[in-house]
Amino acid sequence: MVQSITPKQLAERLKTEDSSSLQLLDVREPWEVEICALPGVTTIPMQQIPQRIAELSPELETICICHHGGRSLQVGHYLQQQGLEKITNLDGGMDAWARTVDPTVALY
């Protein structure tokens, strides 16, 4: 089962924890990432995950991110099926981040 994290919980973790223990995986399309993205994300569009999975570290917790949380949840399930165990989905995606954590992030 893919765990979930709210935008506020993630923001708190990014403030208080060593960010080297996390990998933020943004699975949106490049045009979406150009509109808004969290700093330090690894961007791999959803359709490219199977070919680029080796770019992800299985030792780190992977926080999957998309626009509303649906695509990232699907990617999270796929990553778990491929043997990655530390997978967390950002509930509500970048839209929820913009609405609850950082109102300067563009909505689309």
CB under 8 Å to 89, separation ≥6 — which residues? Answer: 2, 3, 4, 5, 63, 64, 69, 72, 73, 76
The predicted model scores a pTM of 0.96
Q: How far apart are CA 77 and CA 75, in angstroms?
A: 5
CB-based contact 62:26 (threshold 8 Å): no
Q: Per residue in 77-102, pLDDT tens?
A: 999 999 999 999 999 999 999 999 99
Domains of the chain: 3-100 (3.40.250.10)
CB-based contact 3:79 (threshold 8 Å): no
Tell me the catalytic residues.
Answer: 66
CB-based contact 62:25 (threshold 8 Å): yes
Q: Per residue in 17-65, pLDDT tens?
A: 877 889 999 999 999 999 999 999 999 999 999 999 999 999 999 999 9
